[in-house]
Amino acid sequence: MPEEWQVELSKSVNSPDELARFIPLSPAELRRMRRVVGVYPMRISPHYLTLIREKNGPLWKQMVPDIKELRDKNSPEDPLHEDTMSPVPNLTHRYPDRVLFLVSSECAAYCRFCTRKRKVGKPYIIRPRWIREGLRYIESTSSVRDVILSGGDPLLLSDAKLEFLLKSLRRIRHVEIVRIGTRVPCTFPQRITQKLCRVLKRYHPLFVNVHFNHPDELTSEARTACEMLSDAGIPLGNQTVLLKGVNDDAETLRSLFCGLLRMRVRPYYLYQCDLTRGTRHFRTRVEKGIEIINKLRGHISGLAIPHFVIDAPGGGGKIPLLPEY
Ligand SMILES: *Cc1c(COP(=O)(O)O)cnc(C)c1O
Ligand code: SF4
């Protein structure tokens, strides 16, 4: 029997033609979107669809396919060299003490600016054999004390699969903390069930990083989802991607970061948009982020201000960018 959230997820919009049933689209718009979806899959969860109010608005831009994605042929597919720094497929070991472990290729909504555009929505990317190999790698590498489960979205795994992963990691003595990176509290809050929280709280110390990009995403449903996770004892951080035409101004980000704190979510990183192929139209100049952080500093609580970082192309890791004081 599928769970309620799985039934709800099956009502997602997966094609331009389905989208046209909710929002009028011209034949030319439809044609262009169909071409994009042939390369990069589309999915918009029912919850996120209800939040999209205007065509070309900040939420629309994040999730609705845009022909510009196909006009960015010179950018690299894997600018962070995640795949070359992988001792086993889908596990990136870049920093000595922590690994990034991709355990799901599915998300509740496919963000058009995704760094892992080359992988998300492609089920063959994650094979059970590689999950086992990843676990074995972590077990045999005693320098790893921090495991970051990512994807795709790890919380789109069933509770049973997730529990298997967490239990396997907890059996490894040198793994001190586990983190989960997920966008479901924003895009698909129905996934945060009491049953899920009961599973998660058995595997502390567990940290969750959520992903909100715009104050319009801070709905009462998202708040409830975050509160349930917090009440399960999980510290919540937030990652935001700086996106042109979506959130690249100080007022929008001030409102987002203060709103997150009110939901007990601590802003952790603000990312410069990576060089990933198909995302060029989202990229701001690096100075833009510095200028915004500069405007926020001193005006809002220091707790509300994330680190502005750029993930160095070529796999150099995250570099913090600071205004000159
Ligand atoms: C971001 C990242 C991490 C985690 O970095 P923190 O700064 O500790 O949050 C680990 N591994 C990889 C490959 C990453 O990209
Ligand atoms: S939720 Fe994360 S992994 Fe999934 S498409 Fe969005 S940015 Fe990419």
- pLDDT digit string, tens, across residues 88-126: 999 999 999 999 999 999 999 999 999 999 999 998 889
User: What pLDDT shows up at residue 115?
Assistant: 96
pLDDT at 124: 84
Q: What is the pTM of this model?
A: 0.97
Q: Is 152 in the pocket of ligand 2 (CB under 6 A)?
A: yes
Please tell me the distance from the alpha carbon of residue 90 to that of residue 223, in angstroms, as a whole number.
31
3 Cα distance to chain centroid: 23
Q: Is the CB of 243 under 6 A from ligand 2?
A: no
* Burial (0-12, 13-18, 19+ Cβ within 10 Å), 194: exposed
pLDDT score of 89: 94
CB distance 226 to ligand 2 below 6 Å: no
Please give the pLDDT value at position 322: 86
Cis peptide bond N-terminal to 152, omega within 30 = yes
Determine the Cα–Cα distance for residues 45 and 40; give it in Å rounded to an integer.
16
Nearest atom in ligand 1 to the alpha carbon of residue 99 is: 11
Among the atoms of ligand 2, which is closest to the Cα of residue 187? 1
SS3 category, 289 = helix
Q: Is 106 in the pocket of ligand 2 (CB under 6 A)?
A: no
Question: From the CA of 107, how far away is ligand 2's center (Å)?
Answer: 6
E strand intervals along the chain? 91-95, 98-102, 146-150, 177-181, 206-210, 236-242, 266-272, 307-312, 317-320
Q: Which two tokens stand for residue 22?
A: 């909710």
Q: What is the DSSP letter of 246?
A: T
User: For the chain, which residues score pLDDT lower than 70?
Assistant: none
Atom of ligand 2 nearest to the CA of 152: 3
DSSP state letter for 58 = H
> Which of 80, 83, 95 to mutate for ligand 1's pocket (most ligand atoms within 8 Å of CB)?
95
The pLDDT of residue 123:
84
In whole angstroms, what is the distance from residue 175 CA to residue 141 CA? 10
Centroid of ligand 2 to alpha carbon of 325 (angstroms): 34
Q: What is the pLDDT of residue 323?
A: 78
Which amino acids bring their CB within 6 angstroms of ligand 1?
92, 94-95, 98, 100, 148, 318
Single out the residue of 295, 290, 300, 301 nearest to residue 324, CA to CA. 290
Catalytic residues: 94-95, 98, 107, 111, 114, 116, 274, 311, 318
